[in-house]
């Protein structure tokens, strides 16, 4: 029974992990940018949700929707004004500039929001319910549902909407996409905006489950990176699945080895995947 | 046959950076024609198509339906009905045939896209059968058909086709030539760039022969096929 409970916790946490990685995988797959500032954008989204919640009293889940719109704008402008300069350049350039961006966002956040721990704490924060003899924490369950819903929305956009077709087309063949009238600068900005909006949603959910500080970005980037590699870059549901795999592994590691080993496990999983199925992951990357 | 001038090129120079490739090209294409541009590797045929599609800078006269093309972006030229089928098909390999065709109509805001699908599937019945398949998994001939169909989805006024026959079996090329005539019958003007002179002369009304960035011969296909220099250089059947 303890094991079942741990598995459930891992799955619920994994859904959120998957959502964290979703934006990174999208940007990586389409723009070929490994965005080292992705975790910082998650952090920023968390603070946006926190301040909307604190100042307006809006329900955090509604605040997440508002924050996604704001974060879309932030991402659009970042890509259009800055990252479009390096979008087709060498990998090192994209790593350098996004690493710089990570530092700037982190210290801007420290300056604006202070280094104090913040938690998004609605009245129902501690609520939970029972199912099949297991305790289901309400917020984590809701976060899991939101993650699945956003992955489904992204899948629908990419596979059923003209904009999504253009995004996939551009990632597969830039020359042909340009020949058929896609303006890559705008398209890249929209794609990065979507990725940032997803990061913002993940940040809001993270802030309801854990503490927000300006310094969470780097470790969230690392986790997102691992999950994007495991889940691949093309199918949103696979990314969520990758998140669940990591979530379960971390929960089991916490149970058997202690919480300090959870990061070891997620990166160990990355090494394992690269050793066992390198072709699939390389093709994705 | 000879309607209004659709594409007018005069004294066109273009190249890559400091390297000039085209040295004053003169070409004109009239409404309803199939015009072919032949020449060996490195003659500058693809460069000319890139200049027409406004992908690379150029100077000289370049007019489409009596309007200057040179100031336009590739997107704006595309919107005017100047659509290219690029060399090597350049399909979206991980997308289905249907999605590829839809991308051809991506810029269109009219309601007739469904009719265009029907028109294109009537021309290429095999694509209708394969519409759920990934474009990258099809044979070379089917991919070329898909590339041409995708271009037709954009409602072109002038279709620029780059190396249609490249890497295809002769029997497939013959099928494509038949389809090209049907496309012309739909009111689409065609500029066909080919290395395969036999195939090009089979379908075209007029031809231009290009060598090292210059037009060296031009005329009706029937005349050029009898031209000694052309026969020697391209048809390999002197005498």
Tens of pLDDT, residues A224-246: 999 998 888 889 999 999 999 99
Q: What is the mean pLDDT of chain B?
A: 90
How far is it, in rounded angstroms, from Cα B134 to Cα A32? 22
The answer on pLDDT for B142 being more than 70 is yes
Sequence-distant (6+) residues with CB within 8 A of B3 are B30, B31, B32, B33
> What per-residue confidence (pLDDT) applies to A268?
86
Q: Does B156 touch chain A (CB under 8 A)?
A: no
Contact yes or no for A180 and B95 at CB 8 A: no
Tens of pLDDT, residues B187-205: 999 999 998 888 899 999 9
Cα dist from B123 to A173, A253, B118, B126, whole Å: 25, 60, 9, 9
Mean pLDDT of B84-102: 93
How far is it, in rounded angstroms, from Cα B91 to Cα B95? 9
> What per-residue confidence (pLDDT) applies to B75?
85
Q: What is the mean pLDDT of chain A?
A: 90
User: Which residues in chain B have Cβ-Cβ distances shorter than 8 Å to A168?
Assistant: 92, 94-95, 99
All CATH 3.40.50.300 domain ranges of chain B, comma separated, are: 1-81+156-239
Domain covering B1-81+156-239 assigned CATH 3.40.50.300 in the classification: yes
CA B61 to chain CA centroid, Å, is 20
Longest dimension (CA), chain B: 56
Cα dist from A208 to A12, A125, A142, B123, B239, whole Å: 13, 8, 11, 57, 86
Give the minimum alpha-carbon distance from B230 to chain A in angstroms, rounded to a whole number.
Answer: 33
How far is it, in rounded angstroms, from Cα A33 to Cα A148? 24
**pLDDT top residue among A270 and B45:** B45
Tens of pLDDT, residues A1-48: 788 998 999 999 999 999 999 999 999 999 989 999 999 999 999 999
Could you give phi then psi for residue A254, rounded to 5 degrees? -65, -40
Choosing among A158, A180, A182, A186, which should be mutated to test the B contact, i.e. which has the most B CBs within 10 A?
Answer: A180
Interface of B with A in 93-122 (CB under 8 A): 93-95, 99, 102-104, 106-107
Q: For residue B90, give the nearest of A165, A173, A183 by CB distance.
A: A173
Q: For residue B106, give the nearest of A172, A173, A182 by CB distance.
A: A182
How far is it, in rounded angstroms, from Cα B20 to Cα B30? 28
Contact yes or no for B154 and A181 at CB 8 A: yes
The residue among A72, A83, A85 whose CA lies nearest residue A23 is A72
Q: Are B213 and B51 in contact (CB under 8 A)?
A: no
Q: For residue A168, give the nearest of B53, B55, B95 by CB distance.
A: B95
Instruction: List, edge to edge, every strand of the sheet that includes B58-64.
Output: B19-30, B5-16, B58-64, B67-68
Q: How confident is the model at residue B235 (pLDDT cuts 50, 70, 90)?
A: low
Q: What is the pTM of this model?
A: 0.87
User: Which residues in chain A have Cβ-Cβ distances shorter than 8 Å to B134?
Assistant: none
Choosing among B72, B82, B84, B103, which should be mutated to test the A contact, i.e. which has the most A CBs within 10 A?
Answer: B103
Q: Are B201 and B207 in contact (CB under 8 A)?
A: yes
Q: Which long-range contacts (CB under 8 A, 24 or more apart) does B19-23 make?
A: B20/B213, B21/B47, B21/B213, B22/B47, B22/B48, B22/B51, B22/B58, B22/B213, B23/B212, B23/B213, B23/B214
Q: For residue B86, give the nearest of A176, A181, A182 by CB distance.
A: A176
Contact yes or no for A173 and B102 at CB 8 A: no
Q: Does A168 touch chain B (CB under 8 A)?
A: yes
Mean pLDDT of B138-158: 94
Tens of pLDDT, residues B108-132: 888 889 999 999 999 999 999 999 9
> What per-residue confidence (pLDDT) applies to B2?
58
Tens of pLDDT, residues B3-26: 789 999 999 999 998 899 999 999
For this complex, say whether ipTM is above 0.90: no
CATH topology of domain A2-284: ABC transporter involved in vitamin B12 uptake, BtuC (1.10.3470)
> What per-residue confidence (pLDDT) applies to B227?
82
Q: How confident is the model at residue A275 (pLDDT cuts 50, 70, 90)?
A: confident
Strands (E), A115-224: 128-131, 134-137
List the domain boundaries for chain A.
2-284
The answer on pLDDT for B1 being more than 70 is no
Could you give phi then psi for residue B167, rounded to 5 degrees? 75, 10
Q: Are A20 and A239 in contact (CB under 8 A)?
A: no
Q: For residue A169, give the nearest of B55, B75, B95 by CB distance.
A: B95
How far is it, in rounded angstroms, from Cα A54 to Cα A43? 16
Q: Does B88 touch chain A (CB under 8 A)?
A: no
Percent of chain A, pLDDT > 70? 97
Q: Does A1 touch chain B (CB under 8 A)?
A: no
Positive or negative, the CA dihedral B5, B57, B102, B36 is: positive
Give the minimum alpha-carbon distance from A4 to chain B in angstroms, rounded to a whole number.
Answer: 39
CA atoms within 13 A on the CB side of B223: 9
Q: Which residue has the tokens 């250089």?
A: B233
Give the minimum alpha-carbon distance from A255 to chain B in angstroms, rounded to a whole number.
Answer: 42
């Amino acid at each position: 029974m303890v094991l079942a409970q741990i598995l459930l916790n891992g799955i619920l946490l994994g859904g959120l992990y998957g959502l964290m990685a979703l934006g990174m995988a999208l940007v990586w797959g389409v723009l070929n940018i490994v965005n080292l500032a992705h975790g910082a954008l998650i952090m920023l989204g968390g603070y946006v949700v926190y301040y909307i919640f604190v100042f307006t009293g809006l329900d955090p889940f509604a605040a997440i929707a508002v924050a996604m719109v704001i974060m879309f704008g932030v991402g659009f402008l970042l890509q259009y004004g800055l990252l479009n300069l390096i979008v087709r350049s060498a990998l090192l350039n994209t790593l350098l500039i996004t690493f710089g961006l990570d530092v700037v966002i982190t210290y801007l956040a420290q300056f604006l929001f202070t280094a104090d721990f913040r938690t998004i704490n609605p009245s129902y924060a501690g609520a939970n319910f029972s199912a099949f003899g297991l305790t289901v924490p309400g917020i984590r369950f809701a976060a899991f549902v939101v993650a699945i819903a956003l992955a489904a929305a992204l899948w629908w956009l990419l596979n059923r909407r003209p904009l999504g077709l253009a995004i996939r087309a551009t990632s597969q063949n830039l020359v042909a996409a340009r020949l058929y009238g896609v303006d890559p600068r705008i398209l890249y900005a929209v794609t990065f905006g979507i990725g940032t909006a997803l990061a913002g949603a993940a940040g809001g959910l993270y802030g309801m489950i854990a503490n927000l500080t300006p310094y969470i970005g780097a470790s969230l980037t690392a986790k997102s990176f691992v999950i994007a590699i495991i889940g691949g870059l093309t199918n949103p549901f696979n990314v969520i699945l990758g998140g669940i795999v990591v979530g379960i592994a971390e929960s089991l590691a916490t149970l058997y080895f202690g919480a300090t080993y959870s990061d070891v496990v997620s990166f160990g999983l990355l090494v394992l995947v690269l050793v066992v199925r390198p072709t699939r992951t390389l093709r994705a990357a | 046959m000879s309607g209004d001038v659709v594409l007018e090129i005069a004294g066109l120079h273009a190249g890559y950076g400091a390297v000039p490739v085209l040295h004053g090209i003169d070409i004109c294409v009239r409404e309803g024609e199939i015009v072919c541009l032949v020449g060996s590797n490195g003659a500058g045929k693809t460069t000319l198509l890139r200049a027409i599609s406004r992908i690379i800078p150029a100077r000289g006269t370049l007019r489409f339906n009596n309007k200057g093309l040179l100031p336009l972006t590739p997107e704006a030229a595309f919107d005017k009905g100047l659509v290219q089928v690029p060399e090597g098909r350049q399909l979206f390999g991980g997308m289905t045939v249907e999605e590829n065709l839809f991308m051809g109509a991506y810029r269109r805001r009219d309601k007739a896209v469904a009719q265009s699908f029907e028109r294109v599937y009537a021309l290429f019945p095999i694509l209708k059968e394969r519409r759920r398949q990934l474009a990258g998994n099809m044979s070379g001939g089917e991919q070329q058909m898909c590339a041409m169909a995708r271009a037709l989805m954009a409602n072109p006024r002038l279709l620029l086709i780059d190396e249609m026959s490249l890497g295809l079996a002769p029997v497939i090329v013959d099928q494509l030539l038949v389809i090209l005539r049907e496309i012309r019958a739909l009111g689409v003007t065609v500029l066909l760039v080919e290395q395969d002179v036999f195939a090009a002369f089979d379908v075209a009304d007029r031809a231009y022969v290009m060598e090292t960035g210059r037009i060296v011969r031009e005329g009706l296909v029937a005349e050029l096929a009898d031209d000694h220099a052309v026969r020697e250089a391209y048809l390999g059947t002197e005498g």
